[in-house]
Amino acid sequence: MAANSFGEVFRLTSFGESHGQGIGGIIDGCPPRLLIDHEFVQFELNRRRPGQSHLASPRQESDKVEFLSGIIDGVSTGAPIAFAIWNSDQRSGDYDHLKDVYRPSHADYTYQAKYGIRDHKGGGRSSARETIARVVAGAIAKQYLREQGIEIIGYVSAIGSVKLEKSIPVPDLKNVEASLVRCPDVECSKRMQSLIEETKSEGDTLGGIISCHINGMSAGLGAPVFDKFHADLGKAMLSINAVKGFDYGSGFDGVRMKGSEQNDLFVEKEGRIRTMTNNSGGIQGGITNGEEVFFRVAFKPVATVMRDQNTIDSSGNKVLMKGKGRHDVCVVPRAVVIVEAMAAMVAIDHFLRNKIYK
C-alpha cells in the first residue's frame, strides 16, 4: 500500500512535485559504514539532467542534492538517509493554460479520476522530475554494489526506427557518455542524432530502447516464485515514466527459438559453473546463475509534441491544445541513468535479502 516506496530491505520512499519545493526521498535500510561519494551522486544526477546537449531540453535545472540525515563524516550510519533536490523555478505561471485541459497521453485525466484533485503545474507526481529521487538512491546503491564487484551499465540501443543491430558484449561507460544519445556505437549514434534533429524540425517526438547489463552478480540472488529477480527488475523498469515494455535474456525474440536453441548448456570453467550461451540473461528459475544479467526497456515517444492537438477540458468541451514549452524530442538518452538506478536498487535489495541465507 506504500505506493511511493520501492524495495524491501534497501527501500526508497520518494516525495515531491516538479513545481513544488523540491524532489527528494528517504532511503531506509542502507547498510551502515558505507562511504557515500557525494560527487558520484552528483555525477549521476548530471547524467539525468536536461540541457546536456543541443538535442535535449534547454531548461536549466541545477539539481544539486542535499543530504538531510543518516550520514556522518561522509559515512552512512544505518539511519534513514533523507535527501532533497530543491526546485529553483517553482510554481511559475507558465502552466495556467493547462489548468483544465487534459493533455493527450499524459496523466492529467487519470489523476483527476483517481484523486478528485490535481496539481496541473508540471503534472505533480507524474512529472519525470520524480525520477531524480531514484537516481540519488541508485547512485548510493551502486556504491555498495561496486564494493561487492557488481557493475551496472546501460546504453541506448534504439531511437525510433534506428536500431543498434550489433550486440555490445561489454559496454563501456566512457563510450556511452561520449555519445550525445548514449549509444556506444559511433555510426549508429550519428544516425540517431540525425533522426532526432529531423523529428525536432517536425515538432514531433521519439521513443527508444535502453539495454542494460549487470555484471559481477553471484549466483543465488532472487527468489523462486513471485519475487523472481527478473520480475522485480521488470516492475522497477515499468515504473519509470513512458516505459511500455521489458524483456530480459532472449526476451521476445526467444519466442521464435526452439528449446534446443534456447537452452544454455552448463560447463565448468576455471572451477566455476558457467553456461556456454546466455539466452537466460543470467537468471534461471528467477534466481541469478552468476552470468551477466541483461535486459531491454522500451520507451514510448514523449507525449508533449510541438504540434496542435485536439483534446477536451475537464468540462468535456473540445479544446485545441497548442504545442509550446520547453521539452525534449527524445528522453531516452537521459533515461539511461534512471534505468541503471532502478536496476541498482533491485540488485542491492536482493543482495541484502540473500544475506539472510548465509
Q: Which of residues 296-355 bind a copy of itself (CB under 8 A)?
A: 298-305, 307, 309-312, 316, 318, 352-355
**Should residue 216 be labelled a site residue for a copy of itself when binding is judged by CB under 8 A?**
no
8 Å CB contact between 298 and 209: yes
Among 41, 56, 65, 107, binds a copy of itself (CB under 8 A): 107
8 Å CB contact between 282 and 212: no
**Should residue 231 be labelled a site residue for a copy of itself when binding is judged by CB under 8 A?**
yes
Grid look-up 535500510 returns: 29
**Should residue 173 be labelled a site residue for a copy of itself when binding is judged by CB under 8 A?**
no
DSSP result, 59-107 = ------EEE-SSEETTEE-SS-EEEEEE-SSTT-GGGGGGTTB--TTSS
**Should residue 244 be labelled a site residue for a copy of itself when binding is judged by CB under 8 A?**
yes
Q: How far apart are the first and last CA of the chain?
A: 30
Chain Cα centroid distance, residue 126 = 14
**How many binding residues for a copy of itself (CB under 8 A)?**
150
Grid look-up 510541438 returns: 306
Pick between residue 5 and residue 52 the one whose CB is nearest to a copy of itself.
Answer: 5
CB 86, min distance to a copy of itself, A: 9
Q: Maximum CA pair distance of the chain?
A: 70
Q: Which of residues 47-86 bind a copy of itself (CB under 8 A)?
A: 68-70, 72, 75, 77-82, 84
**Should residue 35 be labelled a site residue for a copy of itself when binding is judged by CB under 8 A?**
no
Pick between residue 41 and residue 221 the one whose CB is nearest to a copy of itself.
Answer: 221
E strand or H helix that includes residue 39: helix 38-48
**Should residue 290 be labelled a site residue for a copy of itself when binding is judged by CB under 8 A?**
yes
Among 44, 50, 56, 102, binds a copy of itself (CB under 8 A): 102
